[in-house]
Amino acid sequence: MSSASPSLTPRVAIIGAGPAGLMAAEVLSGQGLGVDIYDAMPSPGRKLLLAGKGGLNITHSEPLESFLDRYGAHRAFLEAHIRSFDPQALRAWVHALGIETFVGTSGRVFPEGMKAAPLLRNWLHRLRSQHVKIYVRHRWQSLEASTTGWRLQLAGPEGIRQADHAAVIFAMGGASWARLGSDGAWVIPLEALGLPVAPLLPSNCGFETHWSEHFRSRFAGEALKNIAASVRTAGGTTPYRRGECLVCESGLEGSLIYALGASLRHELLEAGEAVLLLDLMPDRSLEWLREQIAAPRGARSMASHLQSRLGLKGVKAGMLREFCDTATYADPAALAQAIKALAVPLHAQRPIDEAISSAGGLRFEALDAQLMLNELPGIFCAGEMLDWDAPTGGYLLTACMATGRAAGLGAARWLRQYQTTTEIAPA
């Protein structure tokens, strides 16, 4: 970047008008910097709005250490950013928009009214009052250095336009829900710049198994409640998690499956198959189950016996019969073991465009602690396009907002530092 005519207000470009991009814009404009947001969609925050139709899950109320553990191997990279903008800070930020929050029975945090639209409307109003400019239907195509910093090429309603900015923040999302703008189209141009990108894979989605036609026709659409699950791995099993999931036409989906999704995906990639271990009765011990199953059942069928002695019926009983062979079903000890650790083979994930989010993205080693690209000073990245993933429950939105804030702070800090050695011209 070369020196140019002086400017008191350098402008920063943000590519992507999702939560990460909007948060970066708020930070920058709050520090007196000019901000231009470019988004390919007809309006900002479209994925946020759709995610909030069933109740916008902002964050989670669990202790911060447990919260951070939800990011698994990615915790080390995200921790400092989330600690700087933790769930309590995020709730306070929502309150400052004039919207109250509450904690649901699951510990998840929601806005009053549950919807995303009022929050997004108030947020955009505040950004515009801070003179943030938002350009919709503008898709980023390329990037090159210019005398003022960086020159963007964008495809807009009136054709190709070029825009010069002192710094750029990429917050272009992952590759799920392409119809809302998260299509992963940024991978090719970033790789062309020599940046390392991990393959984009579905996250928080269903996993497929081979149901019998009898089971599918009877139980598709049924919920498996009050269960626990783990994943069988080469080194043993992952810790069991409690929750619920849904039987669907192709397999299983829902919050419990999403919580184990990273481990299941890893097993699929490494071994070609993943084995989910279901505890159908987590409140009962193995010993108790053995005693009850071994009790005399007279002329009753085993299905009737299990319903009478254990209360095991419906979809849970159907799952047990689906994955137990005849010998196991006839052996009280083996059947009790199956109830506590029913092996369900999973052979594939659902397509990425059905997923709530995606894993993979720009690898962390390409970034410094301020989320600036090591090889391209003045270029920052944030949000779901980075190589991390997390289950549903407020963890996705929290990390997007926290990294967006960190990128905004990093860009502001970098511009102040840069201006001590040279001047930056306006875009």
SS3 3: coil
pLDDT at 178: 84
Assess whether 179 and 35 both reside in one domain. yes
Assess whether 322 and 190 both reside in one domain. no
Assess whether 124 and 245 both reside in one domain. no
Q: In the numeric block, which tokens belong to residue 123? A: 């947020």
For residue 298, tell me if it sits in a domain.
yes
Assess whether 211 and 182 both reside in one domain. no
State how far the Cα of 63 lies from the Cα of 188, in Å rounded to an integer: 39
| Cross-strand partners of 198 | 361
Pick the last residue of a domain from 349, 378, 403. 349
Assess whether 184 and 222 both reside in one domain. no
Average pLDDT for runs of 10 along the chain of length 427: 47 96 97 95 91 86 96 95 97 96 94 92 96 96 90 94 95 90 91 94 96 96 96 91 95 95 94 96 96 91 92 96 92 95 96 93 96 96 96 94 98 84 43
Assess whether 182 and 243 both reside in one domain. no
For residue 354, tell me if it sits in a domain.
no
pLDDT at 8: 52
Query: Buried b / exposed e across 59-77, counting CB within 10 Å, b at 16+?
Result: bbbbeeeebbebbeebbeb
The CATH number that applies at residue 159 is 3.50.50.60
Provide the number of structural domains found in the chain.
2
SS3 232: strand
Pick the last residue of a domain from 349, 370, 404. 349
The answer to whether 25 and 129 are in contact (CB under 8 A) is no
Assess whether 367 and 245 both reside in one domain. no
For residue 5, tell me if it sits in a domain.
no
pLDDT at 251: 97
For residue 279, tell me if it sits in a domain.
yes
State how far the Cα of 303 lies from the Cα of 5, in Å rounded to an integer: 83
DSSP H/E element including 380: strand 379-381
For residue 1, tell me if it sits in a domain.
no
Distance of CA 411 to the CA centre of its chain: 24
3-state helix, strand, coil in the chain (%, to 5): 40, 25, 35
State how far the Cα of 329 lies from the Cα of 342, in Å rounded to an integer: 12
Range(s) of the domain holding residue 325: 207-349
How much is the pTM?
0.89
Pick the last residue of a domain from 349, 371, 406. 349
Overall size of the chain counted in residues = 427
Q: Within a 13 Å sphere around the CA of 71, how many CA atoms are in the beta-carbon half?
A: 24
For residue 426, tell me if it sits in a domain.
no
Assess whether 286 and 386 both reside in one domain. no
Look at the block and give the residue holding tokens 């708020």: 26
For residue 215, tell me if it sits in a domain.
yes
Assess whether 178 and 218 both reside in one domain. no
DSSP H/E element including 123: helix 117-129
Q: In the numeric block, which tokens belong to residue 7? A: 């400017």
Assess whether 46 and 149 both reside in one domain. yes
Assess whether 338 and 370 both reside in one domain. no
DSSP H/E element including 65: helix 64-69
For residue 427, tell me if it sits in a domain.
no
Question: Beta-carbon neighbour count of residue 102 at 10 Å?
Answer: 13
pLDDT at 420: 55
Assess whether 50 and 71 both reside in one domain. yes
